[in-house]
Amino acid sequence: MELSRIKEAADRFGTPLYLFDLDCIRDRVQRFRDAFRGEIGLTYSMKTNPFLTLEMSRQVERIEVCSMGEFRICRDLEIPAEKLYISGVLKIREDLMEILEYGQDIARYTAESPLQLKMLSEWADAHEKTLRVYPRLTNDSQFGMDEDTILGLIKNRVDYPHIEFAGIHFFSGTQKKKLKKHEKELAMLDAFFERLSAEANFEVPELEYGTGFAVSYFEDQKKKEEDLRDPEHLEMFRQMVQDMKWKGIVTIEMGRAYAAECGCYVTTALDIKENNGNAICLVDGGIHQLNYDGQIKGMYRPQMAVIPADEPCGRAQKDWSIYGSLCTMNDLLCRSFPETIGLGDRVVFFKTGAYSFYEGMSLFLSHELPAVVLFGEKDGFIKARDQIQSYTFNMAKY
């Protein structure tokens, strides 16, 4: 986005400000479409940036929903059930029943455990509707089930008369920087699918695969790291998929790879000073509103820019440390920013379209904010705050 447009937004809406570029994310989706030549479907992981959910529901095949709050965003935005891919490591029965009431046999559902499959099957049996379920293969973490467990469930699929095993879901992590990692994973999946065919007489219809393509946030990274999202690497990835012995539908699930570039965080320099020779710039906002994956106490410089104020005041070229407005020494946004800054200038942080904008992790995944209760032996329990649903904070309807 051009700096003049960012300035216009900051002048109009004030700072601190999150600004998300819809044209940018539409362009990013089209790049993937072009690279994959219609051979690979696209899923958007809405936890990346829930404000983009409505737009992305118009751009990709599916929206991955990983929590009850995220489901309620989709429901309130009236996103069609056929777009929903209901995931999430923990599915509470009551929540799942509410989701099923909306998704019925139209949405798609992952099974992270035999218990989740059992709950889905019980609903399907009671309503005499067939649900499309994707058992999730673990990457040796808390997510999903191991090969033997999935093999056993599919072998005994006669026990689940209203469950269609529509595919396998696999995700092994994010910020993957080498295609070798994907090559290894696809080979593992190929072998597992062959095992399902041989031992369970089951041909996997579809692979829902979380790629975790990396995004470089910092200036020094930008010069050293390959971007797996460029056309050359995407063609190599497409070819890896084509080279699998297993032949079926492939849908890749991404979030950061789409959204990172489409956002910026705009602040205003409200105080500048020197402490023992250290140039300090204080901006509105802070680390409670901005976080980059891998940034450690401002040691790495994100991609940034300065937009001069209409009436510059005290502008100086220095190696600035950019701090936020919180009363903590940890509120350091960038330790070394060798630019000219003055009072009233806008300081812009780029690549904030994915994850980095969450106001602390308390709003991540749109989970509820906990109740707050005080206790004293004489006072008993004192409720200071009710549990608060947060999903309405993370939703854009337009």
| DSSP codes, 150-177 | HHHHHHTGGG-TTEEE--EEEE--S-B-
Predicted local confidence at residue 214, as pLDDT: 86
pLDDT band at 377 (very low <50, low <70, confident <90, very high): confident
The single-letter DSSP state of residue 240 is H
Closest of 214, 175, 219 to residue 334, by C-alpha: 219
Predicted local confidence at residue 334, as pLDDT: 93
Predicted local confidence at residue 216, as pLDDT: 85
pLDDT band at 227 (very low <50, low <70, confident <90, very high): confident
Kindly list the structural domains of the chain, giving each domain's residue range(s) and its CATH number in brackets, ordered by start.
22-260 (3.20.20.10), 361-392 (no CATH)
Share of the chain above pLDDT 90, in %: 79
What's the chain's average pLDDT?
93
Per-residue pLDDT tens over the stretch 50-105: 999 999 999 999 999 999 999 999 999 999 999 999 999 999 999 999 999 999 99
| Sign, Cα dihedral of 188, 189, 190, 192 | positive
- Indicate yes or no: pTM above 0.85: yes
Q: Are 349 and 333 in contact (CB under 8 A)?
A: yes
Predicted local confidence at residue 371, as pLDDT: 85
Cα distances (Å, whole numbers) of residue 316 to 257, 271, 280, 304, 313 = 36, 13, 11, 17, 9
Per-residue pLDDT tens over the stretch 154-165: 999 999 999 999
Rounded mean pLDDT, 358-387: 85
Cis-peptide into 114, omega within 30 deg: no
Cα distance between residue 304 and residue 368, in whole Å: 33
Per-residue pLDDT for 308 more than 70?
yes
Q: Which single residue is written with the structure tokens 């104020």?
A: 309
